Chain A
Amino acid sequence: MTATDISILPDAPISRHRSLLMRYTGLNWMIRYGLTALFLLLALLIATPWIAPYDPDAQDLLNKLQYPNAAHWLGTDQYGRDVLSRVLHGGLFSVSIAGITLVLCTAIGTAVGAISARQGGLIDETLMRLVDLKISFPDIVVAMFLIAALGSGQGTLIIALTAIGWTPFARMMRNLTLEVGTKEYIEAAEALGCSQRFIILRHILPNAIGPIAAMAFLRFGHMLIAIGGLSFIGLGVQPPASDWGAMLSEARNYMDAMPWLAIAPGLAIFITALCVTLVGRGLQAGSNATNA
């Protein structure tokens, strides 16, 4: 490291996460609109058990396949079940599976990336070859292989999507860790005899949190669409449980007469994915701007 490498500007203060977040949110329209819509959606989904007008599984064959009306805002399906209630409950399912998977992916990926970069040597080489290996499989092929091996169900879905999703986080965290690792305060911490754990948790993680959060939001949209896709082709959430993808799959048979059956769950996936993707892109733009 030569003297010219030393940045004139100090690094972003690590102790003020909240002010950093506020700065991001002030940055662009993508985050503002995305976050607002996302909070509304999450509030709706969390309140589902109380606000859903009907039991999502209650059949009412006398009122089947109704157009949207005052009693059933989004109409009823082929068994007379209330579509609005089903969309809300299905969403709770889709979004919570995506959320759990994402938390697992972020945790595993971040840990692997940080450890790989800090330890170096054989550990780094082994972990990164593992990442390369996974990247040589198309995502859906990995998912289908695991579903073939473990049988379909919610547990398999989470395992399969975690197996797909952790590698981008690992790669990114490894690069961020290597980048932060060249800074003087890391050298100082090492000189003071701080443990690797302390350095990773107190110095590296806070500096990596922006790009990691951006990626987490971007991947959330992918997850949601992937979960719906696997459910759509019958390999994801299994009946009687139902998510947005499974609802779409059922609705396909009534496409010509009852298109709204397919429009409601599809629109729900689209809007949710759009919100998180917007937030992710906004954060990405924000962290690029602050890094520049």
Chain B
Amino acid sequence: MTAFIAKRLLTLFATLAVVSMLAFMIPYLSGDPVRNILRARSPDPVLDPAAIAALTEQLGLDRPIYQQYWEWLALALRGDFGLSFTARTPVDEMFLSGLGVSLSLSLGAMLVALLIGLPMGIVAATRPTGVIDNVTTFITQTLVALPEYWVGPLLVLVFTIHLGWLPSAGWDDWSSMILPTLVLAMRPTAYFAQVARAAMFEVLRSPHMVAARARGLSAWQAIARHGLKNAMLPIMTLFSLWLTGLLGGSVIVEVIFAVPGMGWLLFESVLNNDVPLLQGALVCIVALTVGINTLSDIVTALLNPAIKMPGKGA
């Protein structure tokens, strides 16, 4: 177990090291960073050579690259990614506020997905290939195939423009959170239903369920007392995967509903070629993703000693 945890932590740090290097390289990938900064600051296409020389020295770009990387990394480890080129505010502040917003959006969506997806999957598993099972399959397929950027505007059309019940954008009070949360919950709902169905299907056929029924428990009692607990492991893994996926990956929903979360910051940074913001967003999103997934792997392994360790056998 210690070896397993050590290996996971090693992978975690290796991933972060690679990501930090990638993030550091960003300004060099899209041409000369000095010119890019000056272009982002002023609309004037002709750049002053004196300004270029001054900024090169100011940013320390005349020094060897490894030295620059170490200095950047030392600051980044303290959460200092510098000032955003366009907003002129510290990236870490923008990022923390974005993280709060994205976290509540993702957790809300996951809650909706769990509340709808799990019962759907469990009921479907009790009667495989029955009517309910087929309807569930159809609903989950539909949810997977629906693009968020289509459903989002259509919901706005109905609930904002025609009914006037909910605001179309922003992230101010609970009413503005409903539409983005629902749209973001579509896909995880489908996956939770599918995984819950598969897990339950397995559990229902296992000997301990037969034993529980033989002891005189009704089907639903057996499911509630013995089935759910055993079906929870794959669902927990899926939960952490989706949570991390949504945290940084809800770009499109955040853009549609003008939600000032991490995805929106990422989008803004790409659109404006805002290098410090992009670097900060990239490092923090990946750090969060890897951190949460590593934690969930370790917790899963601790909960289930029978789990097959990766690297041992297939």
Enumerate chain A interface residues (CB-CB to B < 8 A). 30, 129, 132-133, 136-141, 144-145, 147-151, 175, 178-179, 221, 225, 228-229, 232-235, 245, 248-249, 251-252, 255-256, 259, 262-263, 265-267, 269-270, 273-274, 277-278, 281
Evaluate contact between B29 and A140: CB separation under 8 angstroms. Answer: no
A-B contact pairs, 10 of them (CB 8 A): A30-B141, A137-B286, A138-B245, A147-B270, A148-B26, A225-B145, A235-B271, A265-B150, A270-B145, A270-B146
Evaluate contact between A232 and B252: CB separation under 8 angstroms. Answer: yes
Most buried by B among A221, A251, A266: A266
Please give, as numbers and ranges, the residues of chain A lying within 8 Å of B314 by CB-CB distance.
175, 178-179
User: Is B218 an interface residue, CB under 8 A from the partner?
Assistant: no
Please give, as numbers and ranges, the residues of chain B lying within 8 Å of A235 by CB-CB distance.
267, 270-271
Count of A-B contacts judged by CB separation below 8 Å: 129
Please give, as numbers and ranges, the residues of chain B lying within 8 Å of A248 by CB-CB distance.
147, 149-150, 153
Closest to B11 in A: A132
Evaluate contact between B248 and A141: CB separation under 8 angstroms. Answer: yes
Given A141-B248, A233-B255, list of 9 further CB < 8 A pairs? A133-B18, A138-B249, A141-B249, A149-B26, A225-B147, A245-B149, A256-B161, A263-B154, A274-B141
Evaluate contact between A277 and B266: CB separation under 8 angstroms. Answer: no
- A234 and B147 in contact (CB under 8 A), knowing A148-B278, A248-B153? no
Give a binary string over B186-203; 1 marks a CB under 8 Å from any A CB, 0 the rest. 000000000000000000
Give a binary string over B261-290; 1 marks a CB under 8 Å from any A CB, 0 the rest. 001001101110100001000100110011
Evaluate contact between B266 and A141: CB separation under 8 angstroms. Answer: yes
Evaluate contact between A233 and B252: CB separation under 8 angstroms. Answer: yes
Complexed CA–CA distance, A291 and B96 (Å): 49
Evaluate contact between A262 and B249: CB separation under 8 angstroms. Answer: no
Please give, as numbers and ranges, the residues of chain A lying within 8 Å of B269 by CB-CB distance.
148
- A281 and B267 in contact (CB under 8 A), knowing A148-B30, A232-B149? no
Cβ-defined partner of B144 (8 Å) among A137, A140, A149, A277: A277
Evaluate contact between A270 and B150: CB separation under 8 angstroms. Answer: yes
Evaluate contact between B266 and A144: CB separation under 8 angstroms. Answer: yes
Most buried by A among B157, B248, B251: B251
The 9 closest A-B pairs by CB, nearest first: A266-B150, A138-B249, A273-B145, A274-B145, A149-B29, A232-B149, A138-B248, A136-B290, A148-B270
Task: Name the prevailing secondary structure of the A interface residues.
Answer: helix
Complexed CA–CA distance, A233 and B258 (Å): 12
Complexed CA–CA distance, A290 and B141 (Å): 22
Q: How large is the interface on B (under 10, 10 to 19, 20 to 34, 35 or more residues)?
A: 35 or more
Evaluate contact between A141 and B30: CB separation under 8 angstroms. Answer: no
Complexed CA–CA distance, A145 and B27 (Å): 12
User: Is B181 an interface residue, CB under 8 A from the partner?
Assistant: no
Evaluate contact between A144 and B270: CB separation under 8 angstroms. Answer: yes
Evaluate contact between B153 and A252: CB separation under 8 angstroms. Answer: yes
Closest to A146 in B: B29
User: Is B148 an interface residue, CB under 8 A from the partner?
Assistant: yes
Evaluate contact between B147 and A140: CB separation under 8 angstroms. Answer: no
Please give, as numbers and ranges, the residues of chain A lying within 8 Å of B267 by CB-CB distance.
144, 233, 235
User: Is B15 an interface residue, CB under 8 A from the partner?
Assistant: yes
Closest to B15 in A: A136
In the complex, what's the smallest C-beta–C-beta distance from B107 to chain A, in angstroms?
A: 16
Closest to A232 in B: B149
Please give, as numbers and ranges, the residues of chain A lying within 8 Å of B105 by CB-CB distance.
none
In the complex, what's the smallest C-beta–C-beta distance from A191 to chain B, in angstroms?
A: 22
Complexed CA–CA distance, A278 and B245 (Å): 24
Complexed CA–CA distance, A249 and B147 (Å): 12
Please give, as numbers and ranges, the residues of chain B lying within 8 Å of A252 by CB-CB distance.
153
Evaluate contact between B289 and A136: CB separation under 8 angstroms. Answer: yes
Cβ-defined partner of A221 (8 Å) among B15, B145, B249, B251: B145
Evaluate contact between A140 and B251: CB separation under 8 angstroms. Answer: yes
